Amino acid sequence: MNKKMAEKIVYGIHPVLEALKSERPILNKILVTGSRPGEPLRELLLQARQKGIPVHIHPRAELSRLARTEHHQGVVAWRAKDLYTSWEDLLHSIRGESGRAQVLILDGIEDPQNLGSLIRTAEACGVKGVIIPKDRAVGLTPVVAKASAGAAVHIPLVQVTNLAHTLEDLKKEGFWIVGADAREGKSLYEMKFDMNVGLVIGGEGKGIRPLILSKCDFRIRIPLKGKVSSLNAAVSGAVILFEILRQQVTPATISTS
């Protein structure tokens, strides 16, 4: 199986179930093992039947070969279409929204677990879209989709060729660009997020590249009291996104489910 075909794989009960619940037609085939289904798998099979998506029984070894892992929970599905959203479609959706908007920009995230976690957090915080560069960064692989716990099908994910130009375009749309910079940033808790925010999180180890950092209107850091000098990309992104959420929403708009 070539790389392009491998990237169309989605595995794990929860990611496949979330793909089935998506408003977009994402899957065209599901493979399962012949083991006795539990409640989550029964719900998955019911959703597939209702949407007319064929389900085939295959040996577990075959599913492991397709998923390239044994941790697929007996479910592997094929994506019918690319999950990436175009830059134009993201802008259109942002322009149609009222109130403050947040966009997450990831500069060189190479760890699929970090990317999946950041996508999951962004979706939970109501972020309008996640922007990643096409080069020198991980894309939407099956591992990323699994790590996002299905959130990747519910939030626009945009790949761009020139991140610096994208930041300039966001500024023209009324966004202020905020970069996470552990070395020179202002304390996160001194920052007022009463604006449209484009939050930039840098790659593991290297942080935000100098060119991208120069495009940021503000630089912020997370105050740390322990002996470690920094947090990883996924944790940093989560801390900052939830602080933005805390400042920008009223209690009545937060789901408690």
Residues 135 and 180 in one domain: yes
Tell me what pLDDT residue 158 has: 94
Alpha-carbon distance of 164 to 178, in angstroms, equals 13
Question: 240 versus 134: which is more confidently predicted?
Answer: 240
From the number of C-beta atoms within 10 Å of its C-beta (0-12, 13-18, 19+), residue 44 rates as buried
CATH number, domain at 70?
3.30.1330.30
More confident site: 184 or 201: 201
- Do residues 72 and 192 both lie within one domain? no
- Looking at the structure, do residues 171 and 111 belong to the same domain, yes or no? yes
Quick one: 198 exposed, middle or buried, by C-beta within 10 A (0-12, 13-18, 19+)? buried
| Residue 20 domain boundaries | 3-79
d(CA 176, CA 199): 8
pTM of structure: 0.79
CATH number of the domain to which 152 belongs? 3.40.1280.10
User: What tokens does 248 get?
Assistant: 């920008």
What span, in angstroms and rounded, lies between the C-alpha atoms of 21 and 105? Answer: 26
**Helices 233-248 and 112-124, axial angle in degrees (round to 10):** 10
Selected residue with higher pLDDT from 97 and 103: 103
pLDDT digits (tens, 9 = 90+) for 173-186: 999 999 999 888 89
Higher pLDDT, 6 or 82: 82
Helices 87-95 and 163-172: angle between axes, nearest 10 degrees: 20
Q: What is the mean pLDDT of residues 201-230?
A: 90
| Number of domains into which the chain is organized | 2
CB neighbours of residue 37 within 10 Å:
16
Q: Is the pLDDT of residue 234 over 90?
A: yes
- Answer for the pair 107, 202: CB distance below 8 angstroms, yes or no: yes
Note the pLDDT of residue 81.
67
Q: Hunting for tokens 């399962």 — which residue is that?
A: 32
Same-domain check for residues 195 and 245: yes
Residue 107: predicted pLDDT: 95
Same domain, 103 and 164: yes
The tens digit of pLDDT for each residue in 12-64 reads 888 888 888 877 767 888 999 877 667 778 888 888 888 888 999 999 898 89
Q: Within this chain, do residues 7 and 94 fall inside the same structural domain, yes or no?
A: no
| Dist. CA 3–CA 109, nearest whole Å | 19
pLDDT of residue 122: 96
Answer yes or no: is pLDDT of 231 > 70.
yes
How open is the CA angle 150-155-160, to the nearest 5 degrees?
115
Residues 30 and 104 in one domain: no
pLDDT value at residue 229? 75
pLDDT in tens, 121-160: 999 999 999 999 988 888 887 788 878 877 888 898 999 9
Q: What is the DSSP string of 50-89?
A: HTT--EEE--HHHHHHHHTSS-STTEEEEESS--BPPHHH
pLDDT given for residue 254 in this prediction: 52
**pLDDT score of 175:** 96
**One domain, residues 68 and 130:** no
Of 79, 112, 146, the residue that ends a domain is 79
Would the pLDDT of 71 be above 70?
A: yes
Domain boundary at 32, 52, 79, which? 79
Check whether residue 75 and residue 118 sit in a common domain: no
Query: Of the candidates 33, 54, 79, which is a domain's last residue?
Result: 79
Does 68 share its domain with 93?
A: no
Are both 201 and 103 inside the same structural domain?
A: yes
Q: What is the mean pLDDT of residues 63-77?
A: 88
State whether 168 and 140 are in the same domain.
Answer: yes
